[in-house]
Structure 1
């Protein structure tokens, strides 16, 4: 194999690696978007189930939510505003538009 062929192969390999990295980044962004949407939909389902299961009494005009659900809603709002909510050293820091799997895991946790 001569030098020109090796350089062509290296150049092609570099292009292939760049294409794979671009595809990986696109796929990662799609996964993060789907996870965020899933967390949002799960929170909406929980809120709707609480609304449906709420007793229909006259004295219960103010909807009562559990403390856990209120806390989860607050965390979801903070995450939506772009802040980390995961129990790491990043807590409270701005995410810079990037998704965080640890934050999303915390929001989707069914404890």
Structure 2
């Protein structure tokens, strides 16, 4: 290999290294922006969840709503799947998912 070819190869290698460094620097800047945006979104998400929880608590206090017991939650799940849970038609499929006042009373009524 001639000295000129060797020198040209070093010059080309230097240009390639500089291009790679420029690309890595750009990727690093993009990564920093993405991480910063991610942190902002996580904080905003946390803040919104806290606000939503406060609204839910306020709504529950104002309506007097309480958490369903496990058994009533199971009945609610069956009702939402289209089945009667009232003693009059228990286990039968609700026609066209029509609401049933008796079922709703069993699930949400005060007993």
The TM-score with structure 2 as length reference comes to: 0.50
Tell me: higher relative CO, structure 1 or 2? Use CA pairs within 8 A at least 6 residues apart.
1
Please identify which structure carries the higher helix content: 2
The TM-score with structure 1 as length reference comes to: 0.50
